[in-house]
Structure 1
Amino acid sequence: MQFDALREVVQEDEWGCGVACVASILAVSYARARQLLVRHKKAKIDADESQGLELHHLALALRDGGFPVVADWDEPKPYQPGTIVLIGRARGGVEHEHYIVSVGGGWFMDPWINYPNENRQAGLRESFPKGKIFYVALVPKPGSYPR
Structure 2
Amino acid sequence: MIVHQEDDFGCGVACVANRLQISYGQALRLFDNPAAARDKGYACKYIVRALRNAGVEAKLKHISVHKKRPTFEPDDIVFLAKSERYPFQHYLSTLSDTH
TM range (shorter): 0.7 to 0.9
* Corresponding position of 2:6: 12
What letter is aligned with 2:91?
Answer: Y
**Which residue does 1:58 correspond to in 2?**
47
User: What's the CA shift for 1:104?
Assistant: 5.4
**Of 82, 87, 90, which aligns to 2:75?**
82
Aligned length: 95
Does residue 41 of the first structure (1) align with residue 33 of the second (2)?
yes
Measure the CA separation in 2 of the matches of 1:90 and 1:42.
26
- SS of 2:29's partner is helix
The Cα RMSD (Å) is: 2.8
1:97 aligns with 2:89: yes
* Aligned residues of 2:36 and 2:42 also touching (Cα < 8 A): no
Higher strand share: 1
| TM-superposed deviation, 1:17 | 0.5
Tell me how far 1:41 sits from its aligned partner. 2.9
Distance in 1 between the 2:80 and 2:27 partners? Answer: 21
Q: Give the superposition deviation at 1:22.
A: 0.4
Q: RCO (CA 8 Å, sep 6+): is it higher in 1 or 2?
A: 1
Q: Is the 8 A contact 1:41 1:57 kept in 2?
A: no
Using the size of structure 1 for normalisation, the TM-score is 0.55
> Structure 1 stretches (4+) deviating beyond 4 angstroms?
none
TM-superposed deviation, 1:96? 0.3
Q: Per-residue displacement from partner, 1:118-139 (whole Å, max 9, x unpaired)?
A: xxxxxxxxxxxxxxxxxxxxxx
The answer for unaligned runs of 5 or more in structure 1 is 1-6, 106-145
Unpaired segments ≥5 residues, structure 2: none
Equivalents in 1 of 2:43, 2:17: separation in Å?
Answer: 16
CA contact (8 A) 1:25 1:82 kept: yes
Higher helix share: 2
Q: Supply the AA of the counterpart residue of 2:57.
A: P
Q: 1:26 to 1:42 in 2, by over 3 A?
A: closer
